Structure 1
């Protein structure tokens, strides 16, 4: 990850730096209380045993009060650490998803169209989940582990300087060897793991989406075999990851065992020489044991750091792509009404041998309804994409009210256009929720008016009105009802220009003709540019064109 502007990944973490710093402090306090508790308890037990054996005076209350105080401090800091850490993680997860959508949506469909939906889902779910806990799972624990090591060495130096030297050597061994074992090649492994998970999500998603087609082609078993193979690859990658972590823990255990034996020998020898009090010797041994326990979490933290860095890079690969079009530095106001004009427009897709549109001319006057037909791949949908300014032409110009579309801010221009794509989705939700996607501020009266225009009013009133549930992908609707509901979203915008791409796709002839006739009546003076393969009934449009060799011909 690299430091970027305030709307980048680090900007999101910086926005919550107070909570993150508090979380790191609480992690350190929890570790400190745990190490102090075990050290004090060990020394206290030894001192108590020696005092009992010698019938000597012994201050029992101060150490026991310290044990109780450290116990309560550890419980309190642990609870507060989880509370603050989860709160910060959830807030960052929320902001990361908003950030990802805000940066990725302007890239659709021009820059995101080449990516598989399963890939985008993997980045939206798995990668953001890796990044949102980066500080809490990796950076805060690693910082706390370093801080607790420094505090432990300082305490050992105050008690017995050679013990501090041994702890320093042990900390360096664990701080270098274990991270090297765990993190060696971690970026490559985590990148491969992310790729395998993406492949599995993609296959599962596409299999569910195309379940009917797979069943019809008797290809379900073969697809399931591919999913199982992808799942096996993910499982094997996770097993290799765990084996690497186990090897790191084994190395940590070997270093810890050697260090603990060394500390025991060092403190016993010092105690035998009368250089170190027995209870302080016990405290040093138990402190070493406590430090080894907290340092055992270093491997997981290093793995989380590597996974988070790879995930952040994968998110960058999406959102750092330059958009297909950009807003002008000084945008011009969009006229309230005007004619849409294509002037000798030339457009070719990247890498194409010849242009899709080649010197195309077209005028759509205010209130005029135009249909454009032609063979698949002839450039009809490309023309609609230029109207929406998803792309800019390589030659010629597209103007509205005499002003090039490139002179408008995209948001301002899009408010002038109502758009219905060929595969307009119906979302799981109510009728009202689906319609208000087109105009969130529309009141109930406006919704009923659109339903009446599209002959859905009686159907809705027979059920639960505007709250009628339409199901996932409009499961409770017929094909014609789903297309009418999607068209209602476009009509509700009351934009002066309506652009429809195959509005009758998948409908029988009678249903399609009825929909188009109702559409013409509902436009109420608005302009219409309709891409269609079908025959348009009389009276629906004023002019019908046919796309041929990148140009338009009447007929």
Structure 2
């Protein structure tokens, strides 16, 4: 049986640690409640005994108090240790689950989400969900068990006190969730949306700081940021008011319950139905249970926040796959890429960006596809990458339709250099090993030599460990592009797809890069999507995309 790939499937492997954490939390509450109840009983009994200590059991209760004290200390420590351990494990697995579910949706399926919004879901929403056990479900279950046990003990000792305690705890269990949960779904959704907007604005401002400075728009951005911060503050204030209302309700119920409990106990003591020491023990036990119940409001709010965050995560990961991954065949190691009578249109438009398109990239050939913006070049790449399937016609490799191939195995045959190929914060070696995790240093240096970057990093005292900064801050645009190309070349794949490989480069740098590519690609097949012409001798065939048709042109 395959494991569940939903949120429950993330929690299931940790159920033993989860149950242990819940048990320790309950043990801590029981030890604290028992400690206060026993202390009250002991102090009352000792006071009543006075100097007549003959026959008074001093050592038994005092030993029980010490035992409960140590039990509470140890269980509290163990509960924190286990609870934090399982929370960190869940945080790790939730992030892995989110990436595993979200990455197949990229780049097209995540286009409607802002980067800041995705970042908020990855950080804030996962933080709310991974704390579901220690901040919400754990305390609520432990409080429920404590309440049931305390009521059972009170009913056995004095039924009237037990019934009163049951009524009070039922009132707390009903009133506080009602106060804190009313409209909380809308509150948590609004709060999460406001925080996402703030994160997105901060991130976009940092990324566009140069443009903001050039256009003297920094002050306007800061004002917009202040407005978003104020919106977040308003949502947080509403959340705190809701929590304060729950705490106030708890205080009111407790303020009414304790005098009523004291009256019942004193009356019963006066009538001789219960000893004064037992009455003191019951009173302090009730006090401990009511004090523990102060956490109900926070636990309920955490529960609702986690539920809202879980829905936000699943709104990303629960999107249906754009293509069915039901192929089982393995693609050949090498083959001809062919588009035959391909028709394709996006779901939100009636215009066919490809209409009867024909394309052939032979083994070892380099083919250039040109066209104006909006003509469908990116759609063509989406079909080859099988991010989408055509409405008509076939896309095949080595004579096998891509829909018959296992998607992961097809992607293993492709090395892709997207138009905005990122250079990640880290070292040169870190960036290159993303293309070939097992590559040794010698292979990395060869890849750098293929794109004319070897000398640049040989001169550095750190060599492959040279730090290149966020988004390649220490590199020029041409060097960053070459480094991304070297990473793609390191990938042992027979088909190389390049999307606007010369975008943002001056003509001389672009021509030099393409000439280096012609040598470095060896016997790989290459499909290049570009607005620009390539230097003579780089491409074996050239197509122009116009009105959905691929028209072959003469190469230079």
Q: Normalised by the size of structure 1, how large is the TM-score?
A: 0.97
Residue 133 of structure 1 deviates from its aligned partner by 1.1
| Equivalent in the alignment of 1:394 | 391
Residue 448 of structure 1 deviates from its aligned partner by 1.0
Map Cα deviations across residues 113-167 of structure 1 (whole Å, 9 max, x no partner).
2211111111111111111111121111101101100111111122211110110
Matched, 1:415 2:412: yes
From 361, 372, 375, the counterpart of 1:375: 372
From 436, 443, 462, the counterpart of 2:440: 443
From 468, 471, 474, the counterpart of 1:470: 468
SS in 2 for 1:296: helix
| Equivalent in the alignment of 1:135 | 133
Residue 5 of structure 1 deviates from its aligned partner by 6.6
| Equivalent in the alignment of 2:106 | 108
From 340, 347, 363, the counterpart of 1:350: 347
Residue 333 of structure 1 deviates from its aligned partner by 2.0
Distance 2:191 2:31 in 1: 37
Q: Normalised by the size of structure 2, how large is the TM-score?
A: 0.97
Distance 2:289 2:140 in 1: 13
| Equivalent in the alignment of 1:165 | 163
Distance 1:338 1:282 in 2: 86
| Equivalent in the alignment of 1:119 | 117
| Equivalent in the alignment of 2:71 | 73
Distance 1:154 1:399 in 2: 72
Map Cα deviations across residues 268-293 of structure 1 (whole Å, 9 max, x no partner).
11111222111111111111111111
Residue 184 of structure 1 deviates from its aligned partner by 1.5
From 502, 525, 546, the counterpart of 1:527: 525
| Equivalent in the alignment of 1:99 | 97
Superposed counterparts of 1:1-20, under 5 Å: 6-20=4-18
| Equivalent in the alignment of 1:225 | 223
Distance 1:11 1:341 in 2: 40
| Equivalent in the alignment of 1:360 | 357
From 122, 145, 148, the counterpart of 2:146: 148
Assess if the C-alpha contact under 8 Å between 1:123 and 1:315 holds in 2: yes
Superposed counterparts of 1:33-112, under 5 Å: 33-52=31-50, 57-112=55-110
Q: Give the length in aligned residue pairs.
A: 551
Distance 1:524 1:84 in 2: 55
Residue 263 of structure 1 deviates from its aligned partner by 0.8
| Equivalent in the alignment of 1:341 | 338
Distance 1:53 1:180, change over 3 A: farther
Residue 530 of structure 1 deviates from its aligned partner by 0.6
From 454, 457, 461, the counterpart of 2:458: 461
Map Cα deviations across residues 268-326 of structure 1 (whole Å, 9 max, x no partner).
11111222111111111111111111010000100010001111111111111111112
SS in 2 for 1:289: helix
Residue 15 of structure 1 deviates from its aligned partner by 1.1
From 476, 483, 486, the counterpart of 1:485: 483
Distance 1:277 1:457 in 2: 90
| Equivalent in the alignment of 1:179 | 177
Superposed counterparts of 1:237-386, under 5 Å: 237-329=235-327, 331-386=328-383
Residue 14 of structure 1 deviates from its aligned partner by 1.5
Assess if the C-alpha contact under 8 Å between 1:20 and 1:136 holds in 2: no
SS in 1 for 2:426: coil
Between 488-497 and 47-56, the greater mean CA deviation after superposition: 47-56
Matched, 1:404 2:401: yes
Map Cα deviations across residues 37-93 of structure 1 (whole Å, 9 max, x no partner).
111111111111111155654111111111111110100110010001001100111
Distance 2:486 2:39 in 1: 73
Assess if the C-alpha contact under 8 Å between 1:51 and 1:57 holds in 2: no
| Equivalent in the alignment of 2:511 | 513
From 492, 495, 498, the counterpart of 2:496: 498
Distance 2:552 2:331 in 1: 29
Q: Would you identify which runs of 4 or more consecutive aligned residues in structure 1 move more than 3 Å?
A: 53-57
SS in 2 for 1:422: coil
Assess if the C-alpha contact under 8 Å between 1:39 and 1:283 holds in 2: yes
Residue 213 of structure 1 deviates from its aligned partner by 1.6
Unaligned runs of 5+ in 1: none
Distance 2:289 2:345 in 1: 65
Distance 1:327 1:248 in 2: 49
Distance 1:453 1:250 in 2: 70
From 28, 45, 49, the counterpart of 2:26: 28
Distance 1:380 1:194 in 2: 37
Distance 2:144 2:397 in 1: 63
SS in 2 for 1:297: helix
Residue 436 of structure 1 deviates from its aligned partner by 1.1
